[in-house]
Homo-oligomer: A and B are copies of this chain.
Amino acid sequence: MSYERVAIDELMINLNPLQTAGRASAAVRKAVARFSDGYSVCDRCEGVLHDIEKPDIKGFTAELAEFIGADRVAVTMGAREGKFAVMHSVANPGDTIVVDGNAHYTTFMAAQRAGLETFIVPGSGSPEYSIPPQGYAEAFEQCKSATGKLPALALLTHVDGSYGNLSDAAAVAKVCHDAGVPVVLNAAYSAGRMPVNARELGVDFIVASGHKSFGASGPVGFMGAVGEWADRLFRLSPTHPKKNIELLGCTARGSNIIALMTALPIVKKRILNWPAEVEKTRRFVEGMEKIGDIFQEGVKPKQHDLIRFDTPLYHRIGERHRKRGYFLSSELADRGITGLKPGQTKWFKVSTYGYSDAQIDYILASFAEIAEM
């Protein structure tokens, strides 16, 4: 029995923001194919995944820490797993965490799994939906009034998955530290696309996603800590002194770590191209808004490739089309474009990451053509 990926999706331009920076390069695909067996990296292990020298996971771990600006890192199965590990290490059940209003749902899952109460820093609402750094100070005060103490941890979603807003991590980190609250940066949509340095930003913890933004076959990600918090996050077992409790000993014990290792040098090069990616996103926004009643939501101008459009134009067409709202994804599919939720016309999210100018022109022409229906 063979499982076919929805084949047509593989041949299409996929605009889904989840997918654009997660496409695996030929190098990653080849590397993963060599390590397809279970425990494939463990032939020469002496007890700890991150210390394996053949393949050079040990060297890679040091390189990754330097790349992300952390004192120590560990590979995880993704950003959400890292978020839970951080929350579980820093806070106790019943404690509070302050998160931004655009946080990914997994931030709330991790908090609930860790038994934490959540206070939310409200966004600015329409049209920007931005997160004001000072909002953290207000949330801390709210928390102190309600619970009698400061939150155990704060979290900022560096780039959120709703509007693609790039928040001011350094400013938020400062507010948190002025109040004495440690802060974790969810860099799932930023690290791997643009330069991100935890130490420079002043955050205590950082989590990243390999399968979202590093073009790594996953699930795989990593987490890092700066300063004294590294000992807490990476604390060892009292009974099995080589084994890390939060990692349950070993995490990415197979081909996924090879994927991340192969992806890193490629990522180091591609993040240098980030300004061009942003420029392309802004050009795309301009082209889309020219078509008619299409409006980019979130902070303008764009500082990230994830775009949310409010699209009354397509909604109106859908109201009178025989295929109803499904006309849009159907027309796009006919043109070799996928990634929108079928049936969705009032608004949608797309990402332009990695597409050529010619492809961007084609996508714009397609949306323009469909708008004439």
Known: A80-B248, A80-B249; 10 extra A-B contacts, CB below 8 A, are: A19-B37, A19-B39, A32-B255, A38-B219, A39-B218, A78-B253, A113-B248, A217-B255, A218-B255, A254-B256
A44-B6, A106-B248, A248-B81 given; A38·B217 CB < 8 A = yes
Q: Is A4 in contact with B34, judged by CB distance below 8 angstroms?
A: yes
For this chain, the copies found in one complex come to 2
A56 cross-chain contacts in B, Cβ below 8 A: 3
**Can you name 12 A-B residue pairings with CB atoms under 8 Å?**
A2-B27, A2-B30, A3-B55, A6-B55, A23-B38, A24-B38, A38-B218, A88-B113, A218-B254, A218-B255, A218-B256, A219-B253
A31 within 8 A of B: yes
A245 within 8 A of B: yes
Question: A93 → chain B, closest Cβ, in Å?
Answer: 7
A27-B2, A219-B252, A248-B106 given; A38·B19 CB < 8 A = yes
- Give bound CA distance, A215 to B36, whole Å: 9
Q: Is A112 in contact with B38, judged by CB distance below 8 angstroms?
A: no
Shortest Cβ distance from A27 into B: residue: B2
Q: How many residues of A contact B (CB 8 A)?
A: 81
Q: Is A37 in contact with B16, judged by CB distance below 8 angstroms?
A: no
